[in-house]
A and B are shown apart, each in its own frame.
Chain A
Amino acid sequence: MEAGDADAQLMLRYAAGDARAFDLLYASHKSALWRFIRRTVGNAAATDDVFQECWSRVIEHRAGYQPAARFATWLYRIAHNCCMDHWRKSGRRARRESADDDAVAAAADDETLGPLPAALAGEARERLAAALTELPEEQRAAFLLYVEAGLSLAEIGEITGVNPETAKSRLRYAVARLKRTLAMDAGSD
């Protein structure tokens, strides 16, 4: 556990019976977690179900919580598993990584395709949301865990069950694909 992880302390206090600690914990993580699930699941109705299921598991496993890692790592691992369960139940075939990702990643190194100028130029958020849904499952998880949850590559690797290098590679592929999609959308406008 990182020194001074206030969230882990709050979780321990909640496990000891302090309801106020849970309120603080929930308030500090609910928006980011909601967006992570929303971007991952891509369905508003399912987002609510998965979000509640995630916090239910947090509440249910409060007694077994061990602050061996950051609280956020534990929370987003639960959220990631809930999303996987949702996909499994809904029978959705997640888009997998493909061979042309290397070409996309190479194009991402081109600094002329910066995301922000293109995104800010038009309906950037909607385009980004749409582009996220087009990402392969693993890349989207890596991107959202990195950007939304603020986790490190090692933590992302721990959550998704890969080593940090693979997590980094997935992140780069995701960013490159998003840049490309946003640039193409901006060009078509």
Chain B
Amino acid sequence: MTANEDKPVDREAWRRLLDGDGEGPPELTDARIRAQARRAIAPRTGRWWLPASLAASLLLAVLLVQWQYAGPGAPPAVVSEADVATSPAAHPVPGHQDESLMDAAPPQPAPPPPDAAPRRQDRYLADTPTTAITRQDAAQAERDGRFVAPAPPVVPPPAIDRPATVDTPAGNAVAADAAPAPAAERTKKEVSEVVVTGSRVRTSETKSSTPVTAVTPQDVAGRGAGIMGDLQESRETLRPPEEWYAEIEKLRAAGRKREARRELRKLEAAHPGWLEKNHPPDR
């Protein structure tokens, strides 16, 4: 390419003509572009909050679901006959009988004598030998330079879901009465949930008169009003009649006679004869 081809036009002359007005981008545009350029190369270290908030939300959701299902408002589990048959608690325990079925069930054979087979709790206690190391023993061993292993934690026997005195032979019953069973008391305190799995009476030749009924949450919800009514009624029944009558007197004194009459009828229904006996009509 020749020099003439390289410069076909007087570039500088035309440029002077074009540059004369000193045009350029406005300052706002300058600032925007520079800011965009800086943002583009800025390290993205401030985005930690996004995964953190997601993790916190997820954790909260899981905790809420767990709390909802583990709380007191959990829907009742449906217990079927198959569950009862396969559950280990369904195996009959010798001697343990449901009192409600005692009348219907034929008389059971007498429980085996105490010597025939040890009771479950007794067997457990017999199978776990324990060595009691007292403080005196430890002090003596320390003086002798011997090592004394720390005493293992005392493992309580497994809770047995039957009363201590039920089906106990006479001799044992006396002993049980004399020394109240601490395991049974612990069991009473520790039990927070009662699961009815059916009768544990060995009824091979009889048929249950009360078939297992599956209760769904819908059934429970449908019976809500009835349950509340029952609760109200039982509360009123447990109410002391004297206190109740005093409130009725207050209602009368306040001029609310209609309410007083209604409460009086309730009192009579809850405690039949009490009014007649303590506050005769002629009074």
Chain B residues with Cβ below 8 Å from A162 are none
The answer, among A48, A51, A172, for a CB contact under 8 Å with B9, is A172
Q: Are B18 and A168 in contact (CB under 8 A)?
A: no
Main secondary structure of the interface of B (DSSP, over half): helix
Chain A residues with Cβ below 8 Å from B18 are 35, 39, 125, 128, 147-148
Chain B residues with Cβ below 8 Å from A59 are 33, 36-37, 40
- Which residue of chain A lies nearest to B19 when distances are taken between CB atoms in the complex? A35
Q: Does A55 contact B (CB under 8 A)?
A: yes
Per-position binary interface string of chain A over residues 135-152, scored 1 when its CB falls under 8 Å from any chain B CB and 0 otherwise? 000000001001110101
Chain B residues with Cβ below 8 Å from A30 are 24-25, 30
Minimum C-beta distance from A98 to chain B (A): 20
Q: Are A17 and B41 in contact (CB under 8 A)?
A: yes
Q: Are A171 and B9 in contact (CB under 8 A)?
A: yes
Q: Does B6 contact A (CB under 8 A)?
A: yes
Q: Are A168 and B5 in contact (CB under 8 A)?
A: yes
Q: Are B36 and A150 in contact (CB under 8 A)?
A: no
Q: Does B17 contact A (CB under 8 A)?
A: yes
Q: Does B8 contact A (CB under 8 A)?
A: yes
Q: Are A48 and B26 in contact (CB under 8 A)?
A: yes
- Which residue of chain A lies nearest to B33 when distances are taken between CB atoms in the complex? A55
Chain B residues with Cβ below 8 Å from A146 are 9, 11
Within 8 A of B (CB), among A152-168: 152-153, 164, 168
* Segment at the B interface, from A19-27, A67-75, A85-93: A19-27
Q: Are B24 and A115 in contact (CB under 8 A)?
A: no
Q: Are B37 and A26 in contact (CB under 8 A)?
A: yes
Q: Does B15 contact A (CB under 8 A)?
A: yes
Per-position binary interface string of chain A over residues 11-39, scored 1 when its CB falls under 8 Å from any chain B CB and 0 otherwise? 00010011100110010001100110011
Q: Are B17 and A51 in contact (CB under 8 A)?
A: no
The answer, among B5, B13, B21, B29, for a CB contact under 8 Å with A51, is B29
Minimum C-beta distance from A71 to chain B (A): 15
In whole angstroms, how far apart are the Cα atoms of A17 and B1 in the complex? 40
Q: Does B32 contact A (CB under 8 A)?
A: yes
Q: Are B23 and A128 in contact (CB under 8 A)?
A: no
In whole angstroms, how far apart are the Cα atoms of A32 and B178 in the complex? 110
Chain B residues with Cβ below 8 Å from A175 are 8-9, 14
Q: Are A34 and B5 in contact (CB under 8 A)?
A: no
Q: Are A14 and B41 in contact (CB under 8 A)?
A: yes
Within 8 A of B (CB), among A53-88: 55-56, 59-60, 62
Q: Does B20 contact A (CB under 8 A)?
A: yes
Q: Does B189 contact A (CB under 8 A)?
A: no
Minimum C-beta distance from A108 to chain B (A): 10
Chain A residues with Cβ below 8 Å from B24 are 30-31, 34-35
CB-CB under 8 A for A26 and B34, given A31-B23, A150-B11, A175-B9: yes
Q: Does A116 contact B (CB under 8 A)?
A: yes
**20 A-B pairs (CB sep. < 8 Å):** A14-B41, A23-B34, A26-B30, A31-B24, A34-B24, A35-B24, A48-B25, A52-B33, A56-B36, A59-B33, A59-B36, A62-B40, A115-B17, A125-B17, A125-B18, A128-B17, A147-B11, A153-B1, A168-B8, A175-B14
> Beyond the given A60-B40, A143-B14, A172-B9, could you list 4 further A-B residue pairs with CB under 8 A, ordered by the A residue number?
A19-B38, A31-B22, A62-B40, A153-B5
- Chain B residues at the A interface, C-beta cutoff of 8 Å: 1, 5-6, 8-9, 11, 13-15, 17-26, 29-30, 32-34, 36-38, 40-41
- Chain A residues at the B interface, C-beta cutoff of 8 Å: 14, 17-19, 22-23, 26, 30-31, 34-35, 38-39, 48, 51-52, 55-56, 59-60, 62, 115-116, 119, 124-125, 128, 143, 146-148, 150, 152-153, 164, 168, 171-172, 175
Identify the 7 closest CB pairs spanning chains A and B, nearest first. Answer: A31-B24, A22-B37, A147-B14, A55-B33, A34-B25, A17-B41, A175-B9
